Structure 1
Amino acid sequence: MTLLNNDQENVENDSAEEAPRLSLRAAARSGPEPLRAADGLWRKVGHLLRRDVLGIAATTYLVLLLLTTVVGSFVLADSARNTNLHLRFVPPLSTQYGWEYVLGSDALGRSFLAQLTVAARTTLLISIGAVIAAAVVGALIGTVVGYARGRLDKVAMRIADVMLAFPSLLLALIVLYTLGAGLGSLILVLALARIAMYTRVARAETLAVRERVFIRASRAFGAGSLRIVCTQILPVIANPLVALATLEFALVMLAESALSFLGLGVHEPDVTWGGLIAEGRNYLQHAWWIALLPGLAITLTAIATNVLAELVRKAAESE
């Protein structure tokens, strides 16, 4: 009887010791809690959209804007470049010169519909490029320093504080003066101005995630820091970063338009909405549409993006 009792106790002890290992192994393999979070975000955004009329209108506008920009910028590319001084300042809704002049013409007789469409392509390309670049670099830096902690974390946060305190317009002047105005320079300067924001958000989210069970399980089974950061942490913290990027798009677009209006943006043959406003301010009395229409496009795009960003934020917070 004594031997049987001892054997039973040994079996129970072995089972008790093995249970945490099995639990850790299951957590490490089930892992990607990460992937479930990423999938759920867009399902929740779609669910919120079905109950939000303003959200549906904003999403419809943005989809139409993208389709018009992609298709129209190729169809109307020649009309945006061809000048005809006999058709200077044709007013909007004029049908006698063809559908291309439905929004009038500019000081060189170019179709303003074509100008507006091509400008939309450049503005969106710069804004999307700057947001993606800032989000990727900022997320990587914030995740690494948040996971590593220590002196690297302190140095990165002090640099982020300096970047956030540094006037973005002055930074733009320095970079654009050094590199010269252009598409790449604008994307670079706008991305540099926003990297610190993504870094701080990614770091905060990483600090909240780094001690979860599946992270500790991965460490216990020998996963390297780089693998944990790339496959375990980044997918989990992606949702708040996506919400931030959606909101930042409108701010970056407005910043780009301001720089273009001041003459620090792209130059001919490229054109942006901000550049069209700068051109149209000289003709406000007799060609008001040159400044009004791109300004209206910027306003509607910013409002639609902010409405969509609010829905993404709500969906991310409910994860």
Structure 2
Amino acid sequence: MSALTSTLKVMFRRPASGGVPIGLFVLILVALVFVAILAPLIAPYDPNTQNLLGRLKPPGTEARGVYYLLGSDELGRDLLSRAIYGARVSLAVAVLSVLLSGAVGITLGMLASYLGGWVEVVVMRLVDIFLSIPAILLAIIMVAVLGPGFVNVVLVLALTRWPRYARVAYGQTLAVSSQPFVRLATAMGAGPFHVLFLHILPNIIAPLAVVATLEFGLMILFEAGLSFLGMGVQPPTASWGAMLSVGRNYVSSAWWIATFPGLCLFLLVLSVNLLGDRLSEYLNPKSR
């Protein structure tokens, strides 16, 4: 309990250089997560219900008994409801892709470092190849091959970003594997997987958690970018990126279509990145 209390104090205290404490952005992140989880209960209307007589209505107007708090889009759908359900899509893609890419990258990185030999050569050369290609370009190519859709976007993002975890896990495992407790476990007959996942992984989880936090925000942006290009989650499913793509055609006449999804995307990514930065400072003893 005392450790949790000290962590919360670090998160919510005002930075020494002034400015807004990170706790505010943590609250924003928590609020967006709850909105995504409780979307069916919070959204005032069905996000896919069309009302052509209420199309392109500005915020605070009403048409055919539907009150558009944040306005409506080109098909008369409630923008607030679609933004709420868009949070569910963005967070679901980010969580699943981070978990999948982290599991693959951490496992391969630790195996390459601990086993060495041809395993190290093959894994690390694959890491170099993947990192030499721009991530968004690689994601677009893979989506073009596999096709758009929720599941394919998760798989593509996971296959694109696993080298980041592999490189960090590789370096951290090299440093920890020479420690006495690892050599003792090996001398007592523990197998490679026992040593890696019961002795090494708990001691390298902190830097990997920082990487996962920063990658989480990047996955949100990647999903939005793919949906903006029409290669992500397909209509009529609500997605912030797809809403931004539609909104660019109505910037001069219906500014709200792109503004509110863009603001949600900005706040979510900013909150995650600031949380990752603060987590990195907290877990790094040299920065204290």
Q: What is the TM-score when the length of structure 1 is the normalising length?
A: 0.82
Instruction: Kindly provide the CA deviation profile for residues 111-169 of structure 1, in whole angstroms up to 9, marking residues without a partner as x.
Output: 11001111111111111211111111101111111111222112211110000002323
1:237 counterpart = 2:204: yes
Give 1:72 shift.
2.2
Aligned residue among 164, 181, 195 for 1:228: 195
CA spacing shift, 1:46–1:75, aligned 2, 3 Å: closer
Q: Is the 8 A contact 1:41 1:315 kept in 2?
A: no
> What's the Cα RMSD here?
2.2
Larger displacement relative to structure 2 (45-54 or 152-161)? 45-54
Tell me the equivalent position of 1:213: 180
CA spacing shift, 1:95–1:57, aligned 2, 3 Å: farther
**Helix, strand or coil at the partner of 2:252:** coil
**Helix, strand or coil at the partner of 2:47:** helix
Question: What letter matches 1:194 in structure 2?
Answer: R
Tell me the equivalent position of 1:117: 84
Give 1:258 shift.
1.3
Give 1:46 shift.
2.4
Give 1:257 shift.
1.2
Instruction: Give aligned pairs, total.
Output: 281
CA spacing shift, 1:219–1:131, aligned 2, 3 Å: same
1:49 counterpart = 2:17: no
Tell me the equivalent position of 2:161: 194
Larger displacement relative to structure 2 (278-287 or 163-172)? 163-172
CA spacing shift, 1:100–1:196, aligned 2, 3 Å: farther
Tell me the equivalent position of 1:80: 47
Q: Is the 8 A contact 1:277 1:290 kept in 2?
A: yes
Question: What letter matches 1:51 in structure 2?
Answer: R
- Which structure shows the higher helix fraction? 1
Partners of 1:41 and 1:210 lie apart in 2 by 28
Larger displacement relative to structure 2 (97-106 or 217-226)? 97-106
Question: What letter matches 2:239 in structure 1?
Answer: T
Instruction: Kindly provide the CA deviation profile for residues 211-256 of structure 1, in whole angstroms up to 9, marking residues without a partner as x.
Output: 1121111112211111111111111111111111101111121122
Tell me the equivalent position of 2:17: none
User: Where does the alignment leave 5 or more consecutive residues of structure 1 unmatched?
Assistant: 1-38
Instruction: Kindly provide the CA deviation profile for residues 26-79 of structure 1, in whole angstroms up to 9, marking residues without a partner as x.
Output: xxxxxxxxxxxxx99966642411323521101000011111111124543852
Q: Is the 8 A contact 1:45 1:312 kept in 2?
A: no
% identical equivalent positions: 36
Aligned residue among 301, 310, 314 for 2:268: 301
Tell me the equivalent position of 1:145: 112
Aligned residue among 244, 267, 273 for 2:240: 273
Instruction: Kindly provide the CA deviation profile for residues 63-113 of structure 1, in whole angstroms up to 9, marking residues without a partner as x.
Output: 111111111245438521111112112211336877852111111111110
**Helix, strand or coil at the partner of 1:81:** coil
User: Where does the alignment leave 5 or more consecutive residues of structure 2 unmatched?
Assistant: 15-19
**Helix, strand or coil at the partner of 1:137:** helix
Q: What is the TM-score when the length of structure 2 is the normalising length?
A: 0.91
Question: What letter matches 1:171 in structure 2?
Answer: L
Give 1:170 shift.
3.3
Ranked by relative contact order (alpha carbons within 8 Å, sequence separation 6 or more), the top structure is 1
The structure number with the bigger radius of gyration is: 1
